[in-house]
Structure 1
Amino acid sequence: ERAGGPPPHTQAGNATFNRAKLLNVGFKEAMREADWRCVYYHDVDLIPENDRNLYVCDASPKHASIAMDKFGYKLPYRGYFGGVSALTPDQYMKINGFPNNYWGWGGEDDDIATRIQLNGMLIVRPSVQVGRYKMIKHKHDKGNEENPKRFNMLAKTRRTWQHDGMNAR
């Protein structure tokens, strides 16, 4: 940190949060460190309840948190890809990573699910009995308010995914 607080455009403080952009940065940095074969994107507030939910990648992108207590241990909707997911580096690059333009809460997980579909890949999931997670209760983060533009942005994913992601400058 510099004197007077964190530099502008960081994820510290009360500025609007961009989870997806941070995941892209984390992926890029992790790949510099080692030749990883599987990368997990894991919300820190989710605790796995079943140790048979193996943290390994599959031939298709994996959504591991299919049954969260906050959703009554059911998938909230068919295309849901939030919480805990895993992709190989090749799968991640094929979909151009996460979008960089989702500031605030919501939308980026649905965007990546659409990218997976647009690239002809299926989402694999464990059974509801295996993919169970407990969410640690916490206050809503300041600076992470709902993104009011998320539904409009999601409607444009088909047109934006190829230039909004890992290849963006």
Structure 2
Amino acid sequence: MFVRLWLRSFHIYDLLLAIGLITLIVFLCLPFRFASHYEYIEESGIEKALLKQVTRNVSQQEVFECDYSEIIAENRFVYHLAHYHYSVQRGAEIHLGGEFRPEGCQARYSTAIIVPYRNREEQLHAFLTYMHNYLSQQLIHYRIFLVEQIDHKPFNKAMLLNIGAQVAAEYGFPCLILHDVDLLPLNSGQIYACTERPRHMCSALDHWRFHLPYRGLFGGVVAINTVQFQQINGMSNLYHGWGGEDDDLYERLRAKNIDICRFAMEFSQYTMLKHKPEQPNANRVALLRAATLRQPFDGLNSLVYKKVERRLHRLFTLILVVT
């Protein structure tokens, strides 16, 4: 009798274990584990949501304003276009320093695209080629700032973004897009301009099966007004290594009662280029817990670095720094 009961309990345990494993697999594989339900701006509201703001040299142009309604309405899938990846098709129109202004009409938006970078030559080449082909079709005024960390310390993405934001402000750019070098937009209607609220642009990333992992995710590709970035004192300078700085940025916005926004999924689809993972930041959890306490004195107002060189390349403005 004892043996029979033991065998029965063993089978029950086996069954429960199997059910648990199946449940875990379903949880990991199916999209309902993501934050699939979140507020976003529909196509009909996108153009209205974009803030008209340009640098002084653009505002002085005496030509008619560019039209963006057709670009948004069309929203083509363009990542598959081979010529977007092969070479910069309209290179002659890109000014030294990676700056572009449309000809024949006045851009409604001026945007500084800030890319923190170190030792990813293959990705950088893919990024610059694709993004110049992509952005030049949007009829916006933009400039790409590449902020390169040349020391051997752990990579400090947030500090590099702070540096880039300061330099972009010197050039008078009212809108910042904080952009990872390994992320590329798939559809043409994701206008690279700022909205009234800071915007999480890559909420539908292929790495996450085009679903948002959690509602507070605010990294990868982010659009934020220069004034708002200064209002929150930029980003923390203390995140040496991978992880935590994006969540810290989100907490800074919340502390200032600044809400974020997103566009509909079909405008927010991005792909992630393959890359080796960065060295994790062992202190990221502790830093994040004290994010808002450090905000007044950790950020743009405490930025200390050595600027090695600022160089104008054909496709970007390079800022070499030691952190």
For residues 15-62 of structure 1, what are the alpha-carbon distances to aligned partners after superposition, in whole Å with 9 as ceiling and x for unaligned? 211010011111111211x21111100111011011111111011111
Kindly report which structure 2 residues correspond to 1:113-132, keeping only aligned pairs within 5 A, or say none.
113-132=250-269
Kindly report which structure 2 residues correspond to 1:13-52, keeping only aligned pairs within 5 A, or say none.
14-32=152-170, 34-52=171-189
Counterpart CA distance in 2 for 1:95 and 1:43 is 21
Q: Which residue of structure 2 lines up, in the alignment, with residue 146 of structure 1?
A: 280
Matched, 1:164 2:302: no
Counterpart CA distance in 2 for 1:153 and 1:84 is 22
Letter of the structure 2 residue corresponding to residue 167 of structure 1:
N
Following superposition, the deviation at residue 13 of structure 1 comes to: 5.3
- Greater than 4 Å deviation, 4+ residue runs: none
Counterpart CA distance in 1 for 2:227 and 2:149 is 27
Letter of the structure 1 residue corresponding to residue 167 of structure 2:
E
Which consecutive residues of structure 2, in runs of 5 or more, have no partner in the other structure?
Answer: 1-147, 304-323
Decide which structure has the larger Cα Rg and report it.
2
Q: Which residue of structure 2 lines up, in the alignment, with residue 73 of structure 1?
A: 210
Matched, 1:57 2:231: no
TM-score computed with the length of structure 1 as normaliser: 0.88
Counterpart CA distance in 1 for 2:241 and 2:169 is 26
Kindly report which structure 2 residues correspond to 1:91-106, keeping only aligned pairs within 5 A, or say none.
91-106=228-243
Following superposition, the deviation at residue 12 of structure 1 comes to: 2.3
Letter of the structure 2 residue corresponding to residue 53 of structure 1:
Q
> What is the SS of the residue equivalent to 1:26?
helix
Q: Which residue of structure 2 lines up, in the alignment, with residue 136 of structure 1?
A: 273
CA RMSD after TM alignment: 1.3
> What is the SS of the residue equivalent to 2:165?
helix
Kindly report which structure 2 residues correspond to 1:101-112, keeping only aligned pairs within 5 A, or say none.
101-112=238-249
Counterpart CA distance in 2 for 1:138 and 1:89 is 30
Letter of the structure 2 residue corresponding to residue 44 of structure 1:
V
Counterpart CA distance in 2 for 1:108 and 1:80 is 11
Counterpart CA distance in 1 for 2:257 and 2:196 is 12
TM-score computed with the length of structure 2 as normaliser: 0.47
Counterpart CA distance in 2 for 1:109 and 1:155 is 13
For CA contacts below 8 A with separation 6 or more, give which structure has more relative contact order.
1
Letter of the structure 2 residue corresponding to residue 166 of structure 1:
L
Letter of the structure 1 residue corresponding to residue 279 of structure 2:
E
Letter of the structure 1 residue corresponding to residue 247 of structure 2:
D
> What is the SS of the residue equivalent to 2:302?
coil
Counterpart CA distance in 1 for 2:167 and 2:151 is 22
Letter of the structure 1 residue corresponding to residue 195 of structure 2:
D
- State the percentage of identical aligned residues: 39
Q: For the structure 1 residues 60 and 162, does the alpha-carbon distance in structure 2 shift closer, same or farther, using more than 3 Å as the test?
A: same
Counterpart CA distance in 2 for 1:132 and 1:54 is 12
For residues 60-102 of structure 1, what are the alpha-carbon distances to aligned partners after superposition, in whole Å with 9 as ceiling and x for unaligned? 1111010100011011111000110011111101110011000
Between structures 1 and 2, the one with greater strand share: 2
Which consecutive residues of structure 1, in runs of 5 or more, have no partner in the other structure?
Answer: 1-9
> What is the SS of the residue equivalent to 1:129?
helix
Q: Which residue of structure 2 lines up, in the alignment, with residue 6 of structure 1?
A: none
Counterpart CA distance in 2 for 1:122 and 1:15 is 34
Q: For the structure 1 residues 127 and 23, does the alpha-carbon distance in structure 2 shift closer, same or farther, using more than 3 Å as the test?
A: same
